[in-house]
């Protein structure tokens, strides 16, 4: 339907958007499959209860641990969604889940190397520390408001009910493929979660293709090189439509820095874009209830703005 409407408004863009959507989906597919399979293994083995136990312990420890795990994890903002769904269905507290969720898409070991090579080691280190700090801030924010009705049962009904059969009826079974019911649970989890996320991600990448065309990087460069006080929060906001992915953002941000962009604004642009880009926001929107979705976006924006401002102060 989206392509039909686009054809009516701008027929010449249809082919480019189709290519962009397919290419973006193929690029993320290995990470999405890895995350879906991992989530299915966790569910089929019953190890989701073990993970829940680790993340349900002492609040400070669980939030710090989740933030550290997110900083080191290889999952992007869309690929981590199946794991988040599994954790929330296993009744892991939202605070450590949000810490992991915010931190995971921003940085990983491979991204550190690419950022260090493309922008500089000091910026890569700053981004790593900002990632961890954003996870901690997000986790503690949720923890402080944990008794709010808005954060009770965060998953949407169709998601929380999806594959709701419990895998812990007979404890943890690591060799789950030897049991027919566990094998079926594994297959059902892959099929249901994969289809649910796949269809929404295709739509998200289609929308991103339009944002890339109609909100060009040149506009970002012009708006974020002014040196004004609002440059850092504006950079965080601009990261939502203009951010492509972590790998494409490295040369983009490097070019913006060469054009005079503030280092703090560059950091805010990269971190906010990784958390709340169009595909990431779409994936979160169809997973959790609206108050949690709005909180996720706010935490991404505020965390990026705060860490960007801190980095700018240190540079000064």
- Predicted confidence (pLDDT) per residue in 56-103, tens digit: 666 788 899 889 888 887 666 666 777 788 788 877 889 999 998 899
Mean pLDDT of 198-207: 73
Weakest-pLDDT range from 20-24, 28-32, 230-234, 294-298: 28-32
Distance CA 56, CA 164 (A): 20
Q: What was the pLDDT predicted at 188?
A: 86
Residue 294 half-sphere exposure toward CB, CA atoms < 13 A: 5
C-alpha 93: how far from its chain's center?
A: 18
Question: What average pLDDT does the segment 293-308 reach?
Answer: 93
Please report the pLDDT score of residue 57 as a whole number.
64
pLDDT beyond 50 at 163: no
Q: What is the mean pLDDT of residues 162-166?
A: 45
Token look-up 């601009």 returns 238
Please name the residue that has the structure tokens 């898409």: 105
Q: How confident is the model at residue 2 (pLDDT cuts 50, 70, 90)?
A: low
pLDDT bucket at 301, cuts 50 / 70 / 90: very high
Those residues with Cβ within 8 angstroms of residue 132's Cβ, 6 or more apart along the chain or in another chain: 67, 68, 71, 103
pLDDT of residue 174: 77
Record the tokens describing residue 190, joined without a space: 């892959």
What own/partner pairs with CB < 8 Å and gap ≥ 24 does 163-170 have?
Answer: 163/43, 163/89, 163/188, 163/189, 163/192, 163/193, 164/89, 167/43, 167/44, 167/45, 167/46, 167/48, 168/46, 168/48, 168/49, 170/46
Total-model pTM: 0.72
Q: How many CB atoms lie within 10 A of CB 238?
A: 22
- Mean pLDDT, the chain, rounded, equals 78
């Amino acid at each position: 339907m989206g392509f039909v409407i686009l054809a009516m408004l701008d027929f010449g863009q249809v082919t480019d958007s189709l290519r962009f959507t397919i290419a973006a989906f193929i690029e993320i597919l290995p990470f999405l499959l890895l995350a879906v399979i991992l989530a299915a293994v966790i569910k089929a083995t019953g190890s989701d209860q073990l993970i829940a136990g680790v993340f349900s312990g002492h609040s400070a420890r669980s939030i710090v641990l989740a933030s550290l795990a997110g900083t080191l994890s290889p999952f992007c903002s869309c690929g981590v969604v199946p794991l988040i769904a599994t954790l929330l269905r296993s009744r892991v507290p939202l605070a450590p889940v949000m810490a992991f969720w915010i931190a995971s898409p921003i940085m990983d070991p491979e991204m550190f190397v690419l950022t260090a090579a493309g922008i500089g080691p000091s910026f890569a280190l700053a981004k790593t520390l900002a990632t961890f700090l954003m996870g901690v801030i997000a986790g503690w924010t949720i923890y402080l408001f944990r008794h709010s009705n808005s954060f009770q049962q965060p998953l949407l009904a169709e998601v929380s009910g999806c594959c709701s059969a419990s895998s812990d009826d007979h404890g943890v079974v690591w060799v789950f493929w030897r049991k027919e019911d566990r094998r079926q649970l594994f297959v059902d989890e892959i099929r249901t979660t994969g289809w649910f996320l796949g269809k929404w991600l295709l739509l998200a990448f289609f929308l991103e293709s339009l944002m890339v065309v109609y909100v060009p990087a040149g506009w970002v460069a012009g708006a974020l090189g002014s040196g004004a006080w609002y440059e850092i929060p504006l950079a965080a906001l601009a990261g939502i439509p203009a951010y492509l992915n972590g790998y494409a953002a490295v040369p983009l941000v490097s070019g913006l820095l060469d054009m005079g962009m503030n280092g703090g604004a560059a950091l805010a642009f990269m971190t906010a874009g990784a958390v709340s880009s169009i595909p990431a926001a779409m994936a979160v929107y169809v997973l959790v209830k609206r108050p949690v979705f709005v909180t996720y976006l706010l935490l991404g924006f505020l965390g990026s703005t705060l860490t960007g401002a801190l980095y700018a102060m240190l540079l000064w």
